[in-house]
């Protein structure tokens, strides 16, 4: 396993903690994704889904996000603050982060949307503090 230099380790540990904590705070959550501005999975934490399944979900969520952003921009509706996709057996919640990144929570039904949103807002604030405000 490659070793991380001290700066990488300093950023990686809080980042992993935030993802794992968001997963643990939401009943029936199967995974949390951190997506980049192209919709690719940067990192994830998962419980019921395999890493492969999480990357597949991440790829599809990335497609949804790009299409949604294109539409919202084309009709001048402003920036996306929270996106909730409800499927037959899953809820997928997405919140934007700086520089085009996204935090995604995947949860089985029945889901508590208000709790998911509240815990995601807290996780986004932590990620912004840890990853996007460093000099």
Query: Would you state the pLDDT for residue 123?
Result: 95
Q: What is the mean pLDDT of residues 64-71?
A: 88
CATH number, domain at 20?
3.30.450.30
Query: Is residue 1 included in any domain, yes or no?
Result: no
Q: How many domains does the chain have?
A: 1
Query: Is residue 80 included in any domain, yes or no?
Result: yes
User: What is the residue range of 26's domain?
Assistant: 6-132
Q: What is the pLDDT of residues 13-59, one digit of tens each?
A: 677 889 999 999 999 999 999 998 888 898 999 998 999 999 999 99
**DSSP single-letter state for residue 131:** I
Of 73 and 92, more confident: 92
Query: Would you state the pLDDT for residue 32?
Result: 96
User: Closest Cα partner for 130 from 43, 49, 1?
Assistant: 43
Q: Which residues fall within 8 angstroms of residue 61, CB to CB, at 6 or more apart?
A: 33, 35, 39, 85, 92, 94, 102, 104
């Amino acid at each position: 396993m490659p070793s991380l230099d001290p700066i990488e380790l300093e950023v990686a540990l809080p980042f992993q903690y935030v993802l794992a904590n968001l997963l643990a705070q939401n009943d029936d959550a199967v995974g949390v994704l951190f997506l980049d501005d192209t919709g690719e999975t940067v990192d994830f934490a998962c419980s019921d889904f395999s890493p492969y399944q999480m990357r597949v979900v991440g790829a599809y969520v990335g497609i949804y996000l790009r299409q949604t952003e294109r539409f919202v921009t084309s009709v001048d509706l402003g920036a996306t603050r929270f996106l909730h996709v409800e499927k037959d057996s899953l809820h997928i919640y997405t919140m934007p982060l700086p520089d085009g990144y996204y935090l995604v929570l995947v949860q089985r039904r029945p889901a508590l949307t208000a709790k998911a949103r509240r815990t995601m807002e807290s996780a986004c604030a932590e990620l912004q503090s840890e990853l996007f405000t460093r000099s």
